[in-house]
Structure 1
Amino acid sequence: MSTFTLGGIHPPEHKELACGVAVEVCKPPQRAVVPLSQHIGAPCKALVEVGQRVVAGQLIGNPEGFVSAPVHASIAGKVTSIEAFPAPIGRMVPCIVIENDKSDEWAVFEDDPNYMERAADVLKGRIKAAGIVGMGGATFPTVVKLSPPKEKKIDAVIINGAECEPYLTADHRVMLESPKEVVGGLKILMKVLGLNRGYIGVEENKPDAIEKMKAATSGDKDIEVYTLVTKYPQGAEKMLIKSILNREVPAGGLPMDVGVVVQNVGTAYAIYEACRAGKPLVERVVSVTGQGVVSPKNLKARIGTPVAQLLEVCGGLKGGAVKVISGGPMMGFAIYDLDTPVTKGTSGIVVMEDNQIVHRVKFNHCIRCGRCVEACPMGLMPLMLSVYSEKGLYSDAKDYHLFDCFECGSCTYVCPSKRPIVQQVRLAKTMVKP
């Protein structure tokens, strides 16, 4: 088994709540709120007007820059408004609101059973047109990852099946229920990048998924399935590359700097659907789980579905529920409005009960115990980033490699003083330039 060397933690997994529950199709929402910005980069420009009828899969948002991704309607119906709504990350973003007319009419897609015979540029164009982004939560436009500068020679692509965040099981279920499609997405990526080596990394706490992936790749000598040690944050790109290829991404660098492209399991599945069936990214599997949910499930939900509907399908909230998180508990965001819509990056909805939350009005001083340094997978000094940010010395925080922190939350998890280290890092990043 493989793993990264620096830091890491072992928070309670709680995967058992939903890992054994097969994916259930969630009915389309009565009203879909489709954000024009569901990705890192420039937001899209609306291509529709209020009062216009659209069908599912229709292009409704056009990318305004290279680092961007198109947006499609997830239901059929009339556009009732174009206005700002809260996104899962907390800020307001422009959205297209569609009222469902119950027809469930879809745009016409091109089914192509011979998709692997197409030129790499054709497949890349389909991925771009489908609006695919990183579905593990980062939401980086996939086509940008597939367009490295000529001087960056890519020789390996990794499918990230680690799903190391506690509670989340969406990728686990996709690997169990659609292994051939995931492998199909990997093969498309290999062809687009002109590679003959592909890897799939899965944590050891998913033995059934490992078995499925190995069965789906049997006979493919160019693809290797790696069993990874269960250790958070094993699924982070830089950790995954270290674990599988023993390559270290340099400070301030990207995976392409060491010749690697990493894509999520859900992303690989979406790539297969786009290139095989011409289907844009308008739905995804979401884990709705946690001790605060009556019946945890894995739901295939349309983009724009309100979180409230997902919770209703799962039997609603228990009486002790106090916090709803979009994403996982380590890197996700607590949401304040249950009408917040599902986006391309919504990997899970986790509901925590009151007895799971550490309530502290005021955090304590750093005691210099060094636990955050031991836990940091990037080899940083989180205590210094935290203290400098707290004092408003943001430039000094930058000197401690502020932007090499990817906010995994390991430091905050182990801090005995319960300091909000990740929040302080995020604040410092907004106050200085990279």
Structure 2
Amino acid sequence: MDKQLINFIREAGIVGAGGAGFPTHVKVNGKAEYIVVNGAECEPLLRVDQQLMTFKAAEVLEGLKAIVKETGAQKGIIALKKKYKLAIEALGREIHPGDPIEIFELGDFYPAGDEQITVYEVLKRIVPEGGIPLQVGVIVTNVETLLNVSNAMKGIPVTHKYLTVTGAVRKPVTVKVPVGISIREVIALAGGATVDRFKVIDGGPMMGKIVENIDKPITKTSKGIIVLPEEHSLIQGKVRSIEIMLRQARTACCHCSLCTEVCPRNLLGHKLHPDKLMRIASYNSTCENDVSVTEAFLCCECGLCETACIMNLQPWKLNQFLKGKLSSAGIKNPNNRQPVRTNEFRDYRKFPVKKLVARLGLDFYNVDAPLVESVNHEFLCVVLDRKQHIGVKTEPLVQAGDVVALGQAVADVKEGQLGAKIHASIDGIVQRIDENVIEICKR
């Protein structure tokens, strides 16, 4: 296997651009039957991947073809929603006869972008419980990651990030910005908030997290910034503590099983029963012998159970809590079954995105966010998180006072460690290095 592409990717510091930030040079350093591109972008309000597939189709395909060749895959399959017509047309114009590339059109349901769901939709292969797509011969990659691979082949490292800024802002927009600028600056690029008291979600409305400090920097994995009024029901649900939720569950949960009936992992055949875990939390028992709290490890925390719950409870939050408690006690996921079939009602229980947007109270904010490739703004400082990936924290390659140039490597992990290089995203001088960040400012 030619390792040149792997070296390019590692030197560029590429990680998964839309998830947990797994280092790409490790992910693609092996064999796979298929490369599946996750272009579903099923989280409401976000527009990044749709826009990149439309306006950067050639570069995205260049990165995909390189990974297909590197891994010896039969083909690369771009999975995107049928409604993304402009992206489908743009990609179609760039795919030539003989290219090992296909387009697969997904339905408009949530969470079509969960990698295990995507793999099943495209190839009808079920990833084992607690497993990864590679166990069924598949590598799943993100759209922006492929763009970054294309850049890496030209010697361009990851210094900038595409993200959608939307919600209660004056001009919803998708922008390309230097890694390390603050969320506050990003909101300003969208004209600022339209309400005085607001909260910010980093990511999508379903799986994104509330940002406590909007001076926090953008990282390589940032995908969307959503501004909403403090009193919005979505915000209120995210800030509700596990203790309050469980207290409500003991009195309000009617054990109707709706949460389990829409659970994407349960519908794949995985042994996950959110309703029974809620019963354990309420009564310490389900009166059944085949249910264990370790089922919580199988939850992808997509939040669909909360949306389906008629009592506005949050089984996913309980699962998140249980995973933390079990892990801190040294208990690992024992669930590794390989389902042979999905739930027979799966196709009828897919949750339409249009219905999801309405349930979340986001219709007013579900608007276009045009792509702006170059913003008319000079960024004076960036704060680079030393750990923007799964793995170990990077070690500085520079010292305070050093002059650095855009694209220069400023931090890396040691040989053999899991991680990714970090590069300067502006020209400037290293102002500060501490345990967590490297700050660079213009002269």
Aligned-partner residue type, residue 117 of structure 2: M
Q: 1:371 aligns with which of 240, 250, 258?
A: 258
Aligned-partner residue type, residue 280 of structure 1: P
- 1:353 is aligned to 229
1:422 aligns with 2:300: no
1:206-249 Cα deviation digits (max 9, x unpaired): 11111111222132442110111011110111111101111110
Is this contact kept in 2: 1:182–1:269, CA < 8 A? Answer: yes
Q: 1:397 to 1:357 in 2, by over 3 A?
A: farther
TM superposition score normalised by structure 2: 0.66
Secondary structure of the corresponding residue to residue 78 of structure 2: strand
- 1:124 is aligned to 6
Secondary structure of the corresponding residue to residue 176 of structure 2: strand
1:410 aligns with 2:304: yes
Is this contact kept in 2: 1:285–1:298, CA < 8 A? Answer: yes
Cα distance in 2 between the residues matched to 1:309 and 1:228: 35
1:349-381 Cα deviation digits (max 9, x unpaired): 011235642547744322111111111110021
Aligned-partner residue type, residue 207 of structure 1: K
Aligned-partner residue type, residue 273 of structure 1: N
- 1:138 is aligned to 20
Structure 2: gaps spanning 5 or more residues: 267-271, 333-443
Q: 1:391 to 1:354 in 2, by over 3 A?
A: same
Is this contact kept in 1: 2:65–2:100, CA < 8 A? Answer: no
Cα distance in 1 between the residues matched to 2:23 and 2:282: 33
Aligned-partner residue type, residue 411 of structure 1: C
Q: 2:200 aligns with which of 316, 324, 337?
A: 324
Deviation at 1:301, TM superposition (A): 1.1
RMSD between aligned alpha carbons? 2.1
Is this contact kept in 2: 1:372–1:412, CA < 8 A? Answer: yes
Q: 1:233 aligns with which of 92, 100, 111?
A: 111
1:154-199 Cα deviation digits (max 9, x unpaired): 2100111110000100111111110000001101111210223110
Structure 1: gaps spanning 5 or more residues: 1-118
Percent identity reads: 34
Cα distance in 2 between the residues matched to 1:222 and 1:260: 15
Deviation at 1:139, TM superposition (A): 1.1
- 1:344 is aligned to 220
Secondary structure of the corresponding residue to residue 143 of structure 1: helix
1:147 aligns with 2:29: yes
1:279 aligns with 2:156: yes
Q: What aligned pairs does 1:143-182 form with structure 2 within 5 A after superposition?
A: 143-148=25-30, 154-182=32-60
- 1:384 is aligned to 276
Secondary structure of the corresponding residue to residue 286 of structure 1: strand
Is this contact kept in 1: 2:277–2:293, CA < 8 A? Answer: no
Secondary structure of the corresponding residue to residue 401 of structure 1: helix
Is this contact kept in 2: 1:127–1:143, CA < 8 A? Answer: yes
Deviation at 1:205, TM superposition (A): 2.4
Is this contact kept in 2: 1:163–1:169, CA < 8 A? Answer: yes
Deviation at 1:288, TM superposition (A): 0.3
Deviation at 1:398, TM superposition (A): 5.2
Q: Which has the higher helix share?
A: 2
Q: 2:86 aligns with which of 191, 199, 208?
A: 208
Deviation at 1:413, TM superposition (A): 1.6
Q: 1:191 to 1:120 in 2, by over 3 A?
A: farther
Cα distance in 1 between the residues matched to 2:213 and 2:280: 32
Cα distance in 1 between the residues matched to 2:165 and 2:292: 37
Q: 1:212 to 1:372 in 2, by over 3 A?
A: same
Q: What aligned pairs does 1:293-304 form with structure 2 within 5 A after superposition?
A: 293-304=169-180
Is this contact kept in 2: 1:330–1:408, CA < 8 A? Answer: yes
Aligned-partner residue type, residue 303 of structure 2: G
Cα distance in 2 between the residues matched to 1:401 and 1:207: 39
1:193 aligns with 2:80: no
Q: 1:251 aligns with which of 124, 129, 132?
A: 129
Q: 1:132 to 1:351 in 2, by over 3 A?
A: same
Is this contact kept in 2: 1:164–1:231, CA < 8 A? Answer: yes
Secondary structure of the corresponding residue to residue 328 of structure 1: coil
Cα distance in 1 between the residues matched to 2:90 and 2:306: 35
Higher relative contact order (CA 8 A, sep 6+): 1
Cα distance in 1 between the residues matched to 2:183 and 2:172: 14
Cα distance in 2 between the residues matched to 1:346 and 1:124: 23
1:92-150 Cα deviation digits (max 9, x unpaired): xxxxxxxxxxxxxxxxxxxxxxxxxxx730101111121111111221111221134xx
- 2:188 is aligned to 312
TM superposition score normalised by structure 1: 0.67
Is this contact kept in 2: 1:307–1:338, CA < 8 A? Answer: yes
Cα distance in 2 between the residues matched to 1:381 and 1:245: 25
- 1:113 is aligned to none
Cα distance in 1 between the residues matched to 2:283 and 2:197: 34
Is this contact kept in 2: 1:185–1:269, CA < 8 A? Answer: yes
- Figure out how many residues of one structure are paired with residues of the other and give that number: 308
Deviation at 1:387, TM superposition (A): 4.4
